[in-house]
Structure 1
């Protein structure tokens, strides 16, 4: 069996045209190099080099053998680089679930920048409601789900990622559309349209918390429609809606967006990531580290692969 090291010695000698020069390039002694090459020739049963006073040149058989050897070494180096990249999370796949808009906002920017920096990673996005995203994580179809809020779930790791401004979407003819600043109290008496799908139910809870009071509850219509369809309905008049700023990428003629303000600034809504504690995908660890650095957060504790955990001795 010819070892890869022996192939490297053969290639080095052929390229240098001299055993002594090749030995210097390899930082080994010439007798050592000569011995390895001679042992290789004996194992093969053929002479690869013509030894001359001024150096060593390849025989016809040697030229053929070295041509194949170079291809083997190149493929080996490529394979080794792929293994290293995959193990360290620079190559592979990452399945990301979400139910917010991917047309704008931090989710789009984060996935876009991560994809640019890690071109050997294949990103797959899945837009589903919260229950489907959680099921996807549990059954291993998703590596991570990014959702509004910070609700803990048994068996899942979670981390706050970023926040986005809360906006009110309204017809451009609405009386509030001329205002630069809108407060929650300005929305009392309005009729809201939300989707039955996520994040509609969470938005409904927000509205009830912000506007609900004894004797008054906001009028909220929940329809089984998509976000872009809801905005198209709003353009017709009669409704307004509450959205995260990622919805700014959905362009619907006749609809304008305005920030909703609290007494101490504009209202924001948080987004968190959820993943299985036993997920060993190196790309997931790379993604979590990327998000941590991008949003200047404290380091996220990422569990070690189970194969590494098994090798630890109990303390």
Structure 2
């Protein structure tokens, strides 16, 4: 059987046109290179080189064999490069689950920048509700789920990722649309429209906590519709809605967005990542390090820091 080392010697000798020059380039003795090439010829039963005083040139059979040898070595080197890239997280796949808008915001920006720094990673996104995302992590269909809040889940690792502003989506003719700053008390008496699927239920709980009081509960309509449909209905009048700033990428004529403010400034909502501790996907480890660097967070314990240094962004 011909060894890869012998193919490498053959290619070097053919490219150098001399056994002595090839041996110097490989940092081995000429006798060693000559012996391996001779062994190769004996095993093949054919002469590959015309040996002359001034050098060595390929025979016709040698030229044919060289082309195949070069292809084999190229594919071997590409295979090794792929293995190295896969093992260190520079290549492979990452399945990311979420239930927020992907049209704008930190989720879109983070995945886009991660893909730019790691072009050989195939990113796959899945938009599902919270229960489906958690099930996807548990059964291994998802590597990580990015969701609102910081709720603990048994058997899952988690950490805070980033935060986004809370906005009111309203018809452009609404009286509150003329204000630069809106507080929760300004929303008393309004009729809200939310999705039945996530993050609708979480938004409903937030509204009840912010606006509910003895003798008053906000009027909230929950519909089985998509995020863009909610905004289209709002454009018709009669409803407003609460969204994260990632929804700013959904352009619906007749709808405007205004920040919700509290006493200490505009209100923000946090997003966290959840993954299985036994997930050994190197791309997941690199993604977690990437997020930690991007948002100026401490590295994940026990994980080496990422070699990339993307632009940092405040959370």
TM-score, normalization by structure 1: 0.93
Secondary structure of 2:137's aligned partner:
helix
Report 1:161-240 matches (<5 A).
Answer: 161-240=161-240
Name segments (4+ residues, structure 1) moved above 6 Å. none
Q: Distance in 2 between matches of 1:165 and 1:203?
A: 13
Secondary structure of 1:289's aligned partner:
helix
Do the aligned residues in 2 keep the contact of 1:16 with 1:22 (CA within 8 Å)? yes
Kindly state the Cα deviation for residue 75 of structure 1 after the two structures are TM-superposed.
1.0
Counterpart for residue 36 of structure 2:
36
Secondary structure of 2:131's aligned partner:
helix
Report 1:37-52 matches (<5 A).
Answer: 37-52=37-52
Counterpart for residue 67 of structure 1:
67
Secondary structure of 1:173's aligned partner:
coil
Report 1:130-141 matches (<5 A).
Answer: 130-141=130-141
Kindly state the Cα deviation for residue 295 of structure 1 after the two structures are TM-superposed.
1.2
Structure 1: give runs of 5+ residues left out of the alignment. 305-315
Q: Distance in 1 between matches of 2:275 and 2:124?
A: 15
Do the aligned residues in 2 keep the contact of 1:278 with 1:303 (CA within 8 Å)? no
Q: Distance in 2 between matches of 1:221 and 1:49?
A: 84
**1:80-119 residue CA offsets vs partner (Å, 9 max, x unmatched):** 1111112222222111111000011011111111222222
Report 1:2-17 matches (<5 A).
Answer: 2-17=2-17
**1:220-264 residue CA offsets vs partner (Å, 9 max, x unmatched):** 121121111111111122211110000011111111100001111
Kindly state the Cα deviation for residue 128 of structure 1 after the two structures are TM-superposed.
0.6
Report 1:207-286 matches (<5 A).
Answer: 207-286=207-286
Counterpart for residue 87 of structure 1:
87
Q: Distance in 1 between matches of 2:2 and 2:77?
A: 17
Secondary structure of 2:290's aligned partner:
helix
Secondary structure of 1:94's aligned partner:
strand
Secondary structure of 1:131's aligned partner:
helix
2-11 or 185-194, larger mean C-alpha shift: 185-194
Structure 2: give runs of 5+ residues left out of the alignment. 305-315
261-270 or 48-57, larger mean C-alpha shift: 48-57
Q: Distance in 2 between matches of 1:67 and 1:267?
A: 66
